Each structure stands twice: as structure tokens, then as C-alpha cells.
Structure 1
Amino acid sequence: MTEEMTEQKARAAEWFRTLRDRIVVAFEAVEDSHATGPGAAAAPGRFEVTETSRRADDGSDAGGGLMSVMRGGRVFEKVGVNVSEVYGTLGARAQAAMAARKGIPGMAEDPRFWASGISLVAHMQNPHVPAVHMNTRMFWTPHAWWFGGGSDLNPCLEYDEDTAHFHATQKAHLDPHGAEHYPRLKDWADEYFFIPHRGRARGVGGIFMDDHNTGDWNADFALTRDIGEAFLPAYLPIVEKRRLTDWTEEDREAQLVHRGLYAEYNLVYDRGTKFGLETGHDANAVLMSLPPLAKWI
């Protein structure tokens, strides 16, 4: 590994950590500001921060991260904002999946890897406030490096203007990197966040990319950063607009059933969940995305 790549990996990991810190502060500020309306009688939620670790097969340290989870807040019923930096060697199953998906030769001979990223999932108290997901990441092997990630909105009660705002904000952040990015990443999200056994999307979409490597690390990192930068301005105005809306038991029922879709997708199809479990990362951190309550009919 070159000195330049070592520095680039450090820059990426620091960026993910910085973004995590900003989001945690912003979400706790939402909790503090919610002084009236549904849920305001509760104490403002705060994140509980736990260090996570990954151990190699021989028991040696193989990285870790921070799991930050807020439960039972005024606005957020459960939200996790995790960052990680893990490394080591890929097991046989992970090697095969990686080589097959990315066409990377040489994995069997040199299965070393390094990965860092941020992963966020928010499940809300008020059914009128949509759930949301965001992640960005960098992955390295001796044979290749790439970026991935995106964000998508998951309302159980849909508002067209919220969907329009979420997508317009992401487009505004992507367009400076080239007008082709937003439509491509939007279509990719529509395909990726689809639940085949239900024949439907899990939400109203967003943006998503994977295996992103144009050969220009700085340009690709800049695009990845702006995917992350788009998140708070895309999501917080929707939270502010909907958090004071009164809701009924029928609304809550719709929310719990919709959460079942989210759980099904993350447990059956999500690549990040599969990779985290197959590479031995902390299972609680990997499964942080699951809702606190869900219902199936």
C-alpha cells in the first residue's frame, strides 16, 4: 500500500467520523427543541455511545468503531449513527462474494481489506415523520478501492412535497459533480431498495451508488462527501414540518406494518448487513438498523 493511499484512507475515516459528530449534535438539538406537541412530555433523547470492536480469527484486533443509539426520545423512537474502521483478511465466503460482484482478481492470493464508513437509520415516534437511512463508505483491497453509499426516505404516510424536497436537495448536491450523477444514482436506489418478495420498494427512494471508482480518488471522495452533506438539509426540514402533526392509532398501525418491510429488506437483501456479519463485526452495531417495534399482518 502506498503512502498516498494510507493518507487517503485516514482522510476518509476522519470525514465519516466528523459527519457522525455533526449529525448527533443536530439530532439532539431536534430533541431539545420539541417542547410542545406529540411526545413533548418525555425527556429529550440523548445518544448512548458504545465502542465496537472486530476480532480477527486469531483473536487479534481488527478495528472497530462507535455505535451511537438514541432510544425513546421525544421525536426519535430509535436512531443509530455508527462509524467504523475495520481491517484484516476476508473469509472465503466474503472473498467469493466480493470477487464475483466486482470482478476483482487475486482475492484468494491476497484477501486483505480495509473499510470505513458511516451508517445511519432513524425510526421516528410520529408516524407522519418518515424513517430514513443514510450511509457512505470507502473500501480498499490490494487490488482495488471504491466508494459507495447514499440515502433514502421511508415514510409510512407519504407526502409528495416531502419526497420532492428530499430528492431536490440530493440533486442540488450532486449536480456540481456532473448532471449525469443524480438520475443515475436515483435509478440505482430505486433498483437497490426494492423488495422482490413484496414486489415493491421499501420507501420513496433517494440516491445510491456502489463500486464507485473513476480512477480519480479526490473526485470520487468529493462526490461521496456531498452525498453525506446532502443528508441533513434533505431530512431535517421534513422532520420540522411533520413532528407537530397529531396522529391516530390507525397511523401508528400503518407505521408498524411499514417497519416490517424495512426489517425484511435489511435482513434478507442488504449488502452491508451481510458483509458486517460475515466479516465478524459487532452484531449489535450491524443490526442497529432494525426498528424497535414492527408488525406483520
Structure 2
Amino acid sequence: MQDQRQRAASWFQELRDRIVLAFEDLETRHPSDKPAGRFEVLPTQRGEDGGGGLMSVMREGRVFEKVGVNWSEVHGTLSPKAQAAMAARGVPGIEADPRFWASGISLVAHMQNPHAPAVHMNTRMFWTPGAWWFGGGADLNPCIEYDEDTAHFHDVLKAACARHDDDYYPRFKAWADEYFFIPHRGRARGVGGIFYDDLNTGDCEADFAFTRSVGEAFLPAFLPLAEQRMTHDFDEADRQTQLVHRGLYAEYNLVYDRGTKFGLETGHNPDAVLMSLPPLAKWV
């Protein structure tokens, strides 16, 4: 399992590198006199326990108002609260041995143009002495919806799922619809995608292969939408619509998101954990 964990951590970091290069290339190709955005990359450290990662954030680019593409590999001992939460989820052996290891990539992009959709993606591997699993997914968060954009995003993810199991897309789409729902608003935060967690079929190689497919589907699913919409004309009303929609995103991530809670509870760098928050938002 040690070798599989290191292979996963290395692959997540390679995916981070590819996405960073692709986003900077999109910045370069945007026809603007404004300087093209570039990522600032900072190492992160996880509290008193072990591990850390890379926090990669671009601000005020031509295409991206704020985008983070973070990678981490952390290990240590779960807090009593996190340990109890995993025990409640049925993780075997976690009550007796709270050690853990985790690695993954987490991405959130907030766009300059209100017609270009915000997006989230993450993939990860988690290990405890009694269990291991993969998780992740991607979901689209447009403030101005285009049916063709939603269809493209879902079609790419559906094809990625179908290479592994015909049941994965309908199952993980339904999970995303439930997971990315904001109960106090009675609505979803976007137009969905796929979400999965605790994936352990008993075949680590197969589950890792599926997780790689999800990660590799991200750029084909999202980049064409960003490129098509990044020069769309917009007005102040569009901008206000965008800011209000970002308020939904902030509410969800601060109140409900499992990854945000886990990162803060386990002592990871709070700036990296809260990278997902938009630079500007408003409430009405």
C-alpha cells in the first residue's frame, strides 16, 4: 500500500502541474492588453503533524479573477472529532487507531467574465490502518446558465465514467446533486457534475484508474467553456448576478463542505483550505 500511496500522490501533483500550465496558457491566449495572470506557488505545512503541499493561486488575471489549484500529501493522527466522524461513517479500525494519510488535488476557479462558469474539481486518496478509499468529482457553477455548456460538461464526465462502469455516472451524478445542494436556500449551488467518496471496490488499481480518469476529464470538460465565454460581452447587471451567485458558493463551502471542515479540523494551512472562497461576493 505504501507504493500505491506514493504513486497516487505523485499523480495528483502531476495533474496539478498540467492544469496550472493549461490555465496560464489560456491567460496568454486571451486577447487583452492586461497582463496575463500567473500562479503564485507557495509551500504549505500541516500544523504539528506531518506533510504539507503546494498552494497555487492566481488572482486578477485576464480570464480568472481567482483560481486555486492545490496539491497536498499529509499524514498524522486524526482529532477526536474527525475520528468520531469517520467511525460514524463505518471506517473499520478507526476507533482503535486514529492514524491517517491523505493526498489529493483541489481546484476552484472564479472567472472574470460572468458568462464563464465557475468550476470545482478534486480527486484524492485516503488511508487509515484499517481502510483506504478514493474520492472526488467535479461540478459546474455558472451564474448565467447555458444549456449547451451544462450538456458538454456532463457528457465529458459521463464518458469518463463509462470507461469503468456504466453505473458510475448515474450514481455519482445523483450523489453530486444531493451533496452540492444548499438546504437553507432550497437549491443547488450550480448545475452539478459528479461526486463520489469512500470508493473501495476491493481493487485499488481499478479505483485509482477511475480516479485518474475523473481528473483527466476535467480540462476537456471545462476549458472549451472557459475559452468560449471568456470574451463574451457583459454589463453591470451581469456582474451583480455573478456576485450574488458567488454568495451561494461561499455559504455552501463554509457551512456544508466536508473537505473544508476536514482541512480546518486537521490543522492544514487555513489559507489553502479556504482557497475556494471567491474574491468578491454579495448578498441581497
TM-score between both structures, scaled by the size of structure 1: 0.95
1:107-146 alignment to 2 at 5 Å? 107-146=94-133
Match of 2:61 in 1: 73
> Which amino acid in structure 1 is aligned with residue 225 of structure 2?
I
1:173-205 CA-to-partner distances (Å, cap 9, x unmatched) read: 110101111111111100000000000000000
1:48 equivalent in structure 2: 40
How far off its partner does 1:109 sit? 2.1
Match of 1:276 in 2: 263
| Aligned: 1:295 with 2:282 | yes
Is 1:161 matched up with 2:157? no
Alignment correspondent of 1:148:
135
Per the alignment, residue 8 of structure 1 pairs with 4
Between the aligned partners of 2:7 and 2:154, the Cα distance in structure 1 is: 28
Cα offset, 1:106, TM superposition: 2.9
* Deviation at residue 244 of structure 1 after TM alignment: 1.2
Structure 1 residues 173-182 or 9-18, which shifts more?
173-182
Q: Distance in 2 between matches of 1:41 and 1:126?
A: 16
Q: 2:157·2:221 contact (CA, 8 Å) conserved in 1?
A: yes
CA distance in 2, matches of 1:253, 1:55: 38
Deviations 1:109-135 (CA, angstroms, capped at 9, x unpaired): 210000000000000000000000000
CA RMSD of aligned residues (A): 0.7
SS in 2 for 1:177: coil
* 2:5 is aligned with 1:32: no
Question: C-alpha displacement at 1:73, in angstroms?
Answer: 0.2
- 2:195 is aligned, of 190, 194, 208, to 208
**Aligned counterparts of 1:46 and 1:204: Cα–Cα separation in 2:** 28
Pair 1:92-2:102 in alignment? no
User: Given the alignment of the two structures, is residue 18 of structure 1 paired with residue 14 of structure 2, yes or no?
Assistant: yes
Q: CA deviation at 1:41?
A: 2.6
After TM superposition, the score normalised by the length of structure 2 is 0.99
Unaligned runs of 5+ in 1: none
Runs of 4+ in 1 over 6 A off after TM superposition: none
Show structure 2 runs of 5+ residues with no match. none
- Residue 224 of structure 2 aligns to a residue whose secondary structure is helix
Query: For each residue in 1:205-262, what CA deviation from the matched residue of structure 2 results, as whole angstroms up to 9, or x when unmatched?
Result: 0001000000000000000000101100000000111111110000000000000000
Taking the aligned partners of 1:185 and 1:164, their CA distance within structure 2 comes to 16
Q: 2:205 aligns with which of 199, 210, 218?
A: 218
C-alpha offsets along residues 133-188 of structure 1, whole Å, 9 cap, x if unaligned? 00000000001000000000000000000000000011111101011111111111
Give the partner amino acid of 2:13.
R
3-state SS of the aligned residue for 2:37? coil
Please list, as runs of the form range in 1=range in 2, the aligned pairs for 1:173-184 lying within 5 A after superposition: 173-184=160-171
- Superposition deviation, residue 270 in structure 1: 0.3
| Total equivalences in the alignment | 284
Alpha-carbon distance in 2 for matches of 1:210, 1:106 = 18
**What does the per-residue CA deviation read over 1:36-65, in whole Å, with 9 as the maximum and x for residues that have no partner?**
xxxx23100000000000123xxxx51000
